[in-house]
Structure 1
Amino acid sequence: MTEQAVGGGHLPPRTVEVPAVAAPGRRAPESRRADGAAARPAGPPPPATGFAGRRRELKELHADIARAGLDTLSGRKGARSRVLLIAGRPGSGRTALAEELLRGLADRYPDGVLRARLTGPDGAVTDTGRIARDLLAALGARVSPGSVEDELTEQLRRALARRRVLLFLDDAPGADEVAPLLPDAPDCLVVVVSRGPLTGIPDVRPCALGGLDGPAGVEILSRYAGPTRITVDPRTADSVAEECGGQPAALILAGAWLAARPTSSVADLLRALQAVPVPPDLAGGARPLFRAFHLAHQALSPAAARILRLTALAPAGLVDAQIASALAGCSVATAATALGDFAALGLLRPAPAGDGPPPGVRMPDGALYPAYTLPGCLDPQVRALLGEHERPAEIRLARARMLERTVRLLQSCRAMGEPADAPARQKAAALPRPMRFASGDAAAYWLRSRRGALLDAAAVAVADGELDTLDRRLMAVLTRSLLVHLGDEAAAPDLYALHGLVLRVAERRGLPRERAAALLNLADLDTRAGRTAQAATRYRGALEAARSVKDPVATGRALESLGDTYTELGDGQRAADWYGRALELRLARGETPDAARLYGRIGGAHSSVGRWEEALRHWRAAARTYRRLGDGAGQARATGEVARVHEGAGRPERALRICQEALDLARKAADGHLEAVLQLRIADTLDRLGDPAAAGLHRSVGEHLLGDHPD
């Protein structure tokens, strides 16, 4: 499988060109391309995708699925999913074996395969809540923004309860990270890849991986380097496989090194591997991969080696030509060539392609380049070389270039969600061709496919703390892009995370305006999720920050939002108080339309607690303000609410008279829907007054109008 070119026994799927790197004591011949660049000789073409070795382990895993579990009683299914564990050190082929198993089982699970990696590219444990959220999104489930880990994992288990799904958890640190994600669904199967046992999870079926046997190791070498040199020197090939410890990752690197040197022999490869110095404190099991990786790295040109080292900085471990060119400060074409070469050498693996863009959607030139990931088994060694060869200032500059490139791509992406004549679209049209999107659909697909990496880019930059200006720009344009292309509801969980990052930067840098904005946005999302008390706390924090810099817009929004919050909590008196403070600010600033609306909010709050006279005073003030504004529909609505207050206070005759006045105003304003609502309200009042005949007439007219004006 393509994405398992390193770390497993899978083999390369297609013919690729690999860099010509001179073997020790030799010089590789060069030819010239039509554009004048040196053409790199390619090794023998690899055969079609295959899987080397591990047949016994694969058979045992299939047998474990068929065996009865500890929960099985009297032939009945257990209450939980079966868990298969593939354990081994990174580079042992554990992920490749898992993928081969999944391919053979996929047809038995009609609800599909879910995948999650529980360890990040830098070795850090991935947040379980984020994993659960991403899995729920893959299932098409709606996720409440800001949900905590326990809520998300419980929702995930409920979502899987009636499904037949294969769940693959790769690179699991241990049982504590796996257990919350296990579905209580006997029709699901969970496959876990980990370094060691999952102590504490019952009935786990482990499959421990060691090195490949000699024939399987030689097969990998043959697939990469071609069969001729392996066939003429089989004993040395066996020695190479032994030198590589039977580890698929090391064998692939060694085979690709030999493939890049058509004039080198297997004996040359063996000597080159043995010549790589190994730190004395390095564990014996880690030495084969160390030697194979450093052999491959040493053979790269200085420029290519630098690009490889900088790939460790790619967000979420996902690197494409745009990211690589920004990190290294080279052209996109140069970066694309280097990444393809690294993949041929086994140093990178192509990222999963996903569903691909919609039919007929043309991607920008830069996005046509494939994306790659740095294998987890190589990531620590690449990072070590990065720290050894690159100064901190150079690393910071590379990150800054990457963030700047990402911001420009996001600006182009967001622009494609705007109307064709919008200034943003015209500005995007002036960007270099590789950064332009052909359509809104192409931009939306790119955003979805890079979503995780974009969020990680923002999080890493915030944690670094040295690039806050660029990171603030990134978070701002990413927020707008998500809203434009995904919509408010679908983007809400990601927006919650982004606003949290903005808040962190604002507090660190002492930016009260941004702190107020972040708290307001987080509080709005908390309100939507039903966390009203938490929202109230954040609105107060936003109010304090806004007042500290005399920001009237944020202050007014915070005051009004606090009124809405207490309305939701059923505390009408406190709601009216906060609305009153917001009203004072609007009146002082001459914002009459907002003042009219707030008069109504205060009236409604007083009505909810039976303070009828206060409610009447404010609804009448609202009606007068709408009349001064020339807003007939607003005046009609406020007058209708005056009638409702009278009815609530036990004055139905007066309510009927005022409601008829509101009906006349609605007719003059040509607001058919409001007219229908008022007709129905008059009918209800007439019923209470004991006049069913008149009530029926008004109700008939109201229902007819409501049919013509449903909104």
Structure 2
Amino acid sequence: MTDQVVGTSTSGPRAPGASPASGAPRPDFFGRGRELRELRAEIDRAGLDTIAGRGAPRPRFLLIAGAPGSGRTALAGHLAASLADRYPDGVLRARLTAVDGTALTEGEAARLLLDGLGARTVPGASDDDLTHALRQELAGRRLLVLLDDAASAEQVDPLMPEGEGAAHLLFVAVSRGPLTGLTGVRPCALGGLDVPDAHALLESRAGEVRLTVDPRAADCLIERCGAQPAALVLAGGYLAAHPKTSVADLAHRLEQAPADGPGGPGELPRMARLSHDALPAAAARTLRLLSFAPAGQVDAHTASALAGASLPVVRTTLGELAGLGFLRPEPGLEPGEEPRWTVPSCLQPVLRDLADDHERPAELQLARARMLERTVRLLHSCRAVTDPEGSPARVALAALPRALRFDTAEAAAAWLERSRGALLASARLAVADGELDTLARRLLAAIVRAMIAHRGAAGAAPDLYPVHGLVLDVAERRRLPREKAAALLNLADLDASTGRTRQALARYRAALDAARAAHDAVAAGRAMESVAGSYQSLEDWPRAADWYGRALTERLARGE
């Protein structure tokens, strides 16, 4: 599950990891003219399958391959923006690898794209069902699909439809290298920028004068950065933040910096470590902790919770980190809206290794706990604002600090929709941590209540199915039979509502065992009735009658 830009867009709400891509080229994009020409020419060139006269019509597929930090995602986004007029149904984007490096399954990728298309998905649907539904939705559209950070051909191939309805689709994938298994694909491999383009990128960050007065030093710095865009952005940010440091000095420091360290070898980790080490201690600590921001999404409140620092201080720090190139501003903000940033995925491993290297494990766990506690309080506020005026929840809401309150239900719903991906990522990470189960349980319960309050049980079901699965994981790990029974009942109800009756039946019976272990007569009676209903749906009348009888006896024993 899981990980986002405005202009030509698809219909429907923004998904946690899939989003409409910008229809305007980025002003900070430099170079890659040759690669852009090759990619545009590839769109109109006959594929190898077509030349050989075999295979059903498939979408045109472009692959941009390069190391993280090579500008591969920026190139794909720039290409998509320049082609927007050729694809009137929009540009759809999904990231196929989570910020922690976990590759999405093809079903998870399909769900993200279906959400981006505004298509309703079935709770708990299998990977095959999801990819089939996606192929049906895509067929016949004139759409550009941008798949960022694809890990394998197995992720991508099931997403693409075949037949005449697929002829007007364009898939653009970004990956580290060739996606072995996809036939007829000519990868566009990215190296460093051409020297003039690298100079232009540095000048945009550090100013023209400093590079003009010492062009040889600038060439040397570009070489030390491998002409990689992400490393050059950090180098330019460093020069802008240190006006007394010459270009030659920075090139020398970069040459003398250890070849290996947190984040591993390479030009980008080395430049990131150098820039990090030059920061004041408090700012460097904030930067390291941003690697734990859910889905890489950062605002002042999230950073304040992680670092345990005041909002004014954190706002200043985030502005400085953005100037250095460690954060990218999120586009499309409304006037007066709190700025939001994204930690570039290529920097996530470096920052996470720096955090592990500099922080004690207890400090990292405390930072995560602070962030989760704030998220829980925000979710409580998000749900409470839907209650009537004067209700206990609204009275409690008024007593919260201003930063944790929503003025209207509409504002709360907008925050919930925008934060879906980050909330689900927070839940997964909290459960995976294993040391924060109490907070994880509170977070999961708050997510369920807030989503149902704003979207209704049916509308929230596709997101709640994995949440109930996480509740079950924690309940089994902590041996909490009452919560295990509740999670199994919720999952079984969703299975039953989508026609997976036998799967629901198995879960209802497991819920009955858990309810009996917890001595929860109400849950046990509910499970018995549901078992009976499942047998009734399967037209197994004797078993249905038997289980309805057991449920009736249970109720009568409770005096109902």
TM-score w.r.t. the length of structure 2 is: 0.91
Query: Who is 1:293 aligned against?
Result: 272
Query: Who is 1:111 aligned against?
Result: 89
Query: Who is 1:479 aligned against?
Result: 448
1:520 and 1:539 in contact (8 A); partners too: yes
Offset at residue 77 of structure 1 (A): 11
1:306 match: secondary structure:
helix
Identify which of 408, 412, 423 aligns with 1:443: 412
Offset at residue 282 of structure 1 (A): 9.7
> Are 2:142 and 1:164 aligned?
yes
Kindly provide the CA deviation profile for residues 143-163 of structure 1, in whole angstroms up to 9, marking residues without a partner as x: 110111111111111111121
Query: Who is 1:181 aligned against?
Result: 159
1:253 match: secondary structure:
helix
Residue identity opposite 1:313 in structure 2:
F
Offset at residue 352 of structure 1 (A): 5.0
Residue identity opposite 1:588 in structure 2:
A
Q: Classify 1:129/1:588 alpha carbon distance in 2 versus 1 (closer, same or farther; 3 Å).
A: same
**Percent of residue pairs bearing the same amino acid type:** 59
Offset at residue 560 of structure 1 (A): 1.1
The CA distance in 2 between the partners of 1:281 and 1:120, in whole Å, is 20
Q: Counterparts of 1:185-584 in structure 2 under 5 Å?
A: 185-279=166-260, 286-351=265-330, 353=332, 368-584=337-553
Counting matched residue pairs gives 534
Kindly provide the CA deviation profile for residues 242-268 of structure 1, in whole angstroms up to 9, marking residues without a partner as x: 121110111111011111123332222
Kindly provide the CA deviation profile for residues 357-389 of structure 1, in whole angstroms up to 9, marking residues without a partner as x: 7xxxx99xxxx4222222122111111111111
Kindly provide the CA deviation profile for residues 559-578 of structure 1, in whole angstroms up to 9, marking residues without a partner as x: 11112111111122221221
Residue identity opposite 1:136 in structure 2:
L
Offset at residue 199 of structure 1 (A): 1.3
Offset at residue 473 of structure 1 (A): 0.5
1:78 and 1:186 in contact (8 A); partners too: no
List gaps (5 residues or longer) in structure 1.
5-47, 592-711
Q: Classify 1:250/1:74 alpha carbon distance in 2 versus 1 (closer, same or farther; 3 Å).
A: closer
The CA distance in 2 between the partners of 1:231 and 1:249, in whole Å, is 21
2:485 and 2:514 in contact (8 A); partners too: yes
> Are 2:110 and 1:102 aligned?
no
List gaps (5 residues or longer) in structure 2.
6-25
1:163 match: secondary structure:
coil
Residue identity opposite 1:51 in structure 2:
F
2:262 and 2:354 in contact (8 A); partners too: no
Query: Who is 1:15 aligned against?
Result: none
> Are 2:554 and 1:585 aligned?
yes
Kindly provide the CA deviation profile for residues 489-541 of structure 1, in whole angstroms up to 9, marking residues without a partner as x: 22101111011111111111111110110110000000001000111111111
Q: Classify 1:58/1:200 alpha carbon distance in 2 versus 1 (closer, same or farther; 3 Å).
A: same
The CA distance in 2 between the partners of 1:183 and 1:403, in whole Å, is 40
Q: Counterparts of 1:46-85 in structure 2 under 5 Å?
A: 49-72=27-50, 79-85=57-63
The CA distance in 2 between the partners of 1:482 and 1:146, in whole Å, is 17
Residue identity opposite 1:334 in structure 2:
V
1:309 and 1:382 in contact (8 A); partners too: yes
Residue identity opposite 1:573 in structure 2:
P
Q: Classify 1:577/1:460 alpha carbon distance in 2 versus 1 (closer, same or farther; 3 Å).
A: same
The CA distance in 1 between the partners of 2:474 and 2:267, in whole Å, is 43
Bigger relative contact order, structure 1 or 2 (CA pairs below 8 A, ≥6 apart)? 2
The CA distance in 1 between the partners of 2:256 and 2:338, in whole Å, is 36
Offset at residue 584 of structure 1 (A): 1.5
Query: Who is 1:34 aligned against?
Result: none
Kindly provide the CA deviation profile for residues 42-74 of structure 1, in whole angstroms up to 9, marking residues without a partner as x: xxxxxx924211101111100111112234379
2:187 match: secondary structure:
strand
Residue identity opposite 1:222 in structure 2:
E
The CA distance in 2 between the partners of 1:192 and 1:485, in whole Å, is 35
Aligned-residue CA RMSD in angstroms?
2.1
The CA distance in 1 between the partners of 2:187 and 2:51, in whole Å, is 22
Offset at residue 349 of structure 1 (A): 1.5
1:372 match: secondary structure:
strand
1:205 match: secondary structure:
coil
2:109 and 2:155 in contact (8 A); partners too: no
The CA distance in 2 between the partners of 1:182 and 1:260, in whole Å, is 46
Q: Classify 1:411/1:267 alpha carbon distance in 2 versus 1 (closer, same or farther; 3 Å).
A: same
Offset at residue 182 of structure 1 (A): 2.3
2:481 and 2:514 in contact (8 A); partners too: yes
Query: Who is 2:13 aligned against?
Result: none
- Greater radius of gyration (CA): 1
Query: Who is 1:608 aligned against?
Result: none
Offset at residue 230 of structure 1 (A): 1.4
